[in-house]
Amino acid sequence: MSELSGLKALVTGGASGIGRATAALLAARGADVAVLDLDPSAVGEPLRGYLADVSDDASVRSAVAAAAEALGGVDILVNNAGIGAVGTVGDNDDAEWHRVLDVNVLGMVRTTRAALPRLRASAHAAVVNTCSIAATAGLPQRALYSASKGAVLSLTLAMATDHVREGIRVNCVNPGTADTPWIGRLLDRAADPAEERKALDARQPMGRLVTAEEVAAAIVYLASPAAASVTGTALAVDGGMQGL
Ligand code: NAD
């Protein structure tokens, strides 16, 4: 029997990058997995895809209800959907702050709120939030993004405390720069994307980006019964960036 067989998992933002790798690994370990995403069209078997916008409470509630019904419960919730923002505090206006916080922070609140009754009914309930080293690293040109991930870190710790006696564990992962379509889109804006990619690799302590699969492995560990006594933790998967 596989490690996660019988467990039901929801992964937001699971159609791309870290979420996609996580959904695939959860399924490979035996979990039944539903992906909630703005674009679930590319989600293939054995995963179930559901259209959901985490910035819209009604959309989240109906997607979580449909997915939980189809799966027969929710044991694992991976709050992974997120968007980026570039700039100093002087660069982003209120509308941009609201837009990013609405997805990156309230998105996790909405999905967790919608899944809580199912999580409370689970004997192996685990929530894993995709945070970032931006939460603690003071990255340049990332004021809004960093604030959003700082909130995710605090939210993770608060949720871990609030729900520990209900048997729900809550942890987060803090990826460094991870090789996903997100980073591909940023590189595409450079004059010479291939050169920019080389420079980006060279800036990493390990000389390369973290892979989506490496982050997924950490998420799946935190979600699994192997981490049954682990809650309120932030696990860095950053190739040594945080230590600099
Ligand atoms: P990605 O852009 O490849 O994938 C993000 C997914 O989230 C996409 O499938 C997208 O459709 C979905 N999504 C975006 N907004 C959504 C919304 N409102 N509702 C539902 N789904 C939505 O990005 P990624 O690099 O895999 O990032 C995933 C998570 O990892 C994010 O939370 C991001 O902040 C975090 N992260 C990424 C990196 C990195 O370097 N790539 C580093 C640290 C943290």
Tens of pLDDT, residue by residue over 95-154, are: 999 999 999 999 999 999 999 999 999 999 999 999 999 999 999 999 999 999 999 999
The residue type of 43 is V
Tens of pLDDT along 8-51?
999 999 999 999 999 999 999 999 999 999 999 989 899 999 99
Domain-located, residue 189: no
Residue 124, CA atoms < 13 Å, CB-side half-sphere: 18
Inter-residue contact 43 to 14 (CB < 8 Å): yes
For this complex, say whether ipTM is above 0.85: yes
Ligand 1: centre distance to CA 213 (Å): 14
**Nearest-angstrom CA–CA distance, 122 and 96:** 37
In a domain, 206, yes or no: no
**For ligand 1, what atom is nearest to the CA of residue 39?**
11
In a domain, 83, yes or no: yes
Query: Is residue 2, in this structure, part of any structural domain at all?
Result: no
Other CB atoms within 10 A of residue 224 CB:
20
> In whole angstroms, what is the distance from residue 241 CA to residue 244 CA?
6
Ligand 1 centroid to 130 CA: how many Å? Answer: 9
Residue 114 lies in a domain: yes
pLDDT tens-digit map of 167-195: 999 999 999 999 999 999 999 999 999 99
Ligand 1 probe mutation, 182, 197, 211, 213, most atoms within 8 A of CB: 182
In this predicted structure, the answer to whether residue 156 has a pLDDT above a threshold of 90 is: yes
Q: How far is the CA of 78 from the centre of ligand 1 (A)?
A: 12
The protein residue with its alpha carbon nearest to ligand 1, atom 33, reads: 82
Q: What is the CATH number of the domain that holds 61?
A: 3.40.50.720
Q: Supply the Cα-derived Rg of the chain in whole angstroms.
A: 17
Residues with CB under 6 A from ligand 1: 12-13, 15-19, 37-39, 52-55, 80-83, 103, 130, 132, 175, 177-178, 180-183
Q: Which domain range does residue 129 map to?
A: 8-177+211-237
- The answer to whether residue 194 is domain-embedded is no
Residues paired with 34 in a beta bridge: 10, 48
Q: How far is the CA of 52 from the centre of ligand 1 (A)?
A: 14
Q: What is the count of structural domains for the chain?
A: 1
| 225: amino acid identity, one letter | P
> Which tens digits make up the pLDDT trace of 79-105?
999 999 999 999 999 999 999 999 999
Q: How many helices (H) and strands (E) does the chain have?
A: 9, 9
**Ligand 1 atom with the shortest distance to the CA of 13:** 7
Does 224 reside within a domain?
yes
Q: Distance between the two ends of the chain, CA-based, in angstroms?
A: 42
Report which protein residue has its CA nearest ligand 1's atom 35. 130
Residue 154, pLDDT score: 98
Is 82 contained in some domain?
yes
Catalytic residues: 145
Enumerate the β-bridge partners of residue 170: 127
Type of residue found at 154: S
Return d(Cα 229, Cα 124) in angstroms, integer: 11
